[in-house]
Structure 1
Amino acid sequence: MVQKRRQPAWKTENQRKRSKKIARKRRRVIAYTVRGIMAAVLAVMILLMICGCLYIRDFFRRNENESSTQKADAVRVTISGVEEDELDADLSGEENHMVVLDAGHGGEDGGTVEQAATEKEINLAVVLKLKELLEEQGIRVVLTRDKDIFMKLEERVQIANGEKADLFISIHCNYYEKDSSIYGLECYYCKSGEEGKHYAERIMETIEESKNIVSRNVKPADYYILKNTTVPAVLVEIGYLSNYNERNQLMSEEYQEKLAGELVKGIVKGMEEKTG
């Protein structure tokens, strides 16, 4: 009878250790594989959530823009229709009416920048629309800037004073980082400027009566361009870029047209009362 030779104890121990190492490696491979799969699933879920949020945002933005377009069309019809005829009749023969429009910031000074919104671009877009509508009323318009260039405050004031304008209007966008729920248009005038106050109040009255644009208040301020102009001056904060909905509106050309239309009505109303 042949007896099997037993392996030495040290060989048995080595085989046992190798088996344990292989088992540990297999467990590690399985663990890393499972983690990789979970990470991939999580990444896909996050991607789907982001896509869903973007779709919802675009959906509401399209609806908002369509609504703004309809309202803006109504405003343009009003301005170019009966009311425009009335304004032309009231201001006919008053060729000396002149307004200096100032698009705040410009060039290297972008003003407030919030996501896709840049204040200097919005200010200029609204000013150019204001210019067109005012000229349709027979009012001469001078711009402090008609393109993206930097201008010192002193230069803007010099233009207004040099032209001896009936009114100087500076257009800006507001921002309040502590509370993004705040929104609406605001008008400022110099404390000692009664004529500036007159125009600021007429602009705000017109906007409030139209109910097309949310307005906040009229109040005095010590801004440089208000204190140093020798002509009636108003600074208009047309809206808050810190507010999501108003920021999107201010970037919309349709809303800019509506905004310009209401501002023109207020300006003309102020001039009518002055000349009347």
Structure 2
Amino acid sequence: MNRMSFFIKLRKLFLHASPRKRALVFTMGIVILAAVGIGIGSQMMSKRAESGNDYLNNNNNNSVGGRENLDEPSNIDKSRPKEVIVVIDPGHGGEDLGAYNGTFYEKDINLDISLKLGELLEELGVKVVYTRKTDVFIDLDPRVDLANRLDATLFISVHSNSMPDNSDYRGTETLYCPPVNPKYSKMDGKKLATIVQKELISALGTVDNGIIERPNLAVLRKTVMPAVIAEIAYISSPSDRAKLKDTAFRQKAAQALADAVMKALDEMGAVKDENGGYTIIED
């Protein structure tokens, strides 16, 4: 039976059915059409949301990119100098407040220090890419994917800490993941953490909590370049919190991180090219 014959037969059955059955069939048809319409609409909205989120999909203006393969790019000629790229990752954002005290949110401290850090590095000729530049939520994997896709040189994640059960605990620490198949012979996460911690303590005069191994943290474990999380100070500590609220203190933190980045790049053999930017050869 072809499609036309089927519909003709179906129409005859409908016309000869009782009014009650016809009403029932009509109602069922409306329900089915509505369900199909909702499904199609949901798919369209989902696709629109994915393509309309400029912040996650735009590869310009130093914004975060979409989800990519976590493996190191295979088409890179390591014998040639490549542009130095430092990915700066302001922790948390949007509905993810991070640690807080009243309306004093970690996400805002992280972003402020990160933007200051980026400005300092750009003034020195270092290319900077941020995982976020505004108060938006970015999940962990897209932050990692961005750095890996760009084949970034260093990954610096900026955070503040909290220990609500012990307001006396304060200070600065830098987190890292134990190096596995390090990309550079002269630099890995632990070495970078050591440099960052030293510069922060020297500049800020905070309690030195040292470098801490944290292999369970995604942005440290999944990034293929040297990566650290700099925990500037404790929001839960009244004395540290007062420092974090001070613009001059946050500027010092940014400067210390910039100094650490430049020292790390120097140890890695990065050089300034004729255009004023930095390049490096992977070894």
Give SS of 2:89's match.
Answer: strand
Task: Report which of the two has the higher share of helix.
Answer: 1
The answer as to 2:174 corresponding to 1:174 is: no
Q: Give the unaligned 5+ runs of structure 2.
A: 1-80, 183-187, 271-283
Structure 2 CA distance for aligned equivalents of residues 184 and 202 of structure 1: 17
TM-score by length of 2: 0.61
Structure 1 CA distance for aligned equivalents of residues 95 and 124 of structure 2: 34
CA shift for structure 1 position 212: 3.7
Residues 21-32 of structure 1 mapped to structure 2, 5 A cutoff:
none
Q: Give the unaligned 5+ runs of structure 1.
A: 1-93
Residues 254, 209 of structure 1: CA spacing in aligned structure 2 closer, same or farther, 3 A cutoff? Answer: closer
Residue 257 of structure 1 is aligned with which of 226, 240, 251? 251
CA shift for structure 1 position 210: 4.2
The one-letter code sitting in structure 1 at the alignment partner of 2:209 is R
The answer as to 2:107 corresponding to 1:120 is: yes
Residue 104 of structure 1 is aligned with which of 79, 91, 105? 91
Residues 146, 162 of structure 1: CA spacing in aligned structure 2 closer, same or farther, 3 A cutoff? Answer: same
Give SS of 1:179's match.
Answer: coil
Aligned residues of 2:196 and 2:230 also touching (Cα < 8 A)? no
Structure 2 CA distance for aligned equivalents of residues 224 and 127 of structure 1: 19
Residues 50-89 of structure 1 mapped to structure 2, 5 A cutoff:
none
Structure 1: which 4+ aligned runs deviate by more than 4 Å?
none
Residue 126 of structure 2 is aligned with which of 130, 139, 157? 139
The one-letter code sitting in structure 2 at the alignment partner of 1:245 is S
The one-letter code sitting in structure 2 at the alignment partner of 1:265 is D
Structure 2 CA distance for aligned equivalents of residues 256 and 209 of structure 1: 14
The one-letter code sitting in structure 1 at the alignment partner of 2:170 is Y
Residues 132, 211 of structure 1: CA spacing in aligned structure 2 closer, same or farther, 3 A cutoff? Answer: closer
Structure 1 CA distance for aligned equivalents of residues 244 and 190 of structure 2: 25
The answer as to 2:261 corresponding to 1:270 is: no
CA shift for structure 1 position 150: 0.7
CA shift for structure 1 position 167: 0.4
Residue 219 of structure 1 is aligned with which of 197, 212, 216? 212
Structure 2 CA distance for aligned equivalents of residues 95 and 208 of structure 1: 32
* Equivalent residue, structure 1, for 2:62: none
CA shift for structure 1 position 95: 7.7
Residue 174 of structure 2 is aligned with which of 187, 200, 209? 187
The answer as to 2:187 corresponding to 1:197 is: no
CA shift for structure 1 position 213: 4.1
The one-letter code sitting in structure 2 at the alignment partner of 1:206 is E
1:7-55 Cα deviation digits (max 9, x unpaired): xxxxxxxxxxxxxxxxxxxxxxxxxxxxxxxxxxxxxxxxxxxxxxxxx
Residues 211, 119 of structure 1: CA spacing in aligned structure 2 closer, same or farther, 3 A cutoff? Answer: closer
Residue 225 of structure 2 is aligned with which of 215, 222, 231? 231
Structure 1 CA distance for aligned equivalents of residues 208 and 256 of structure 2: 11
CA shift for structure 1 position 252: 1.7
CA shift for structure 1 position 111: 1.0
Residues 171, 207 of structure 1: CA spacing in aligned structure 2 closer, same or farther, 3 A cutoff? Answer: closer
TM-score by length of 1: 0.63
Aligned residues of 1:110 and 1:118 also touching (Cα < 8 A)? yes
CA shift for structure 1 position 179: 1.5
Residues 211, 149 of structure 1: CA spacing in aligned structure 2 closer, same or farther, 3 A cutoff? Answer: closer
The one-letter code sitting in structure 2 at the alignment partner of 1:153 is L
Aligned residues of 1:95 and 1:139 also touching (Cα < 8 A)? no
The one-letter code sitting in structure 2 at the alignment partner of 1:255 is F
Aligned residues of 1:180 and 1:244 also touching (Cα < 8 A)? yes
Q: Give me the identity figure in percent.
A: 37
Aligned residues of 2:199 and 2:256 also touching (Cα < 8 A)? yes
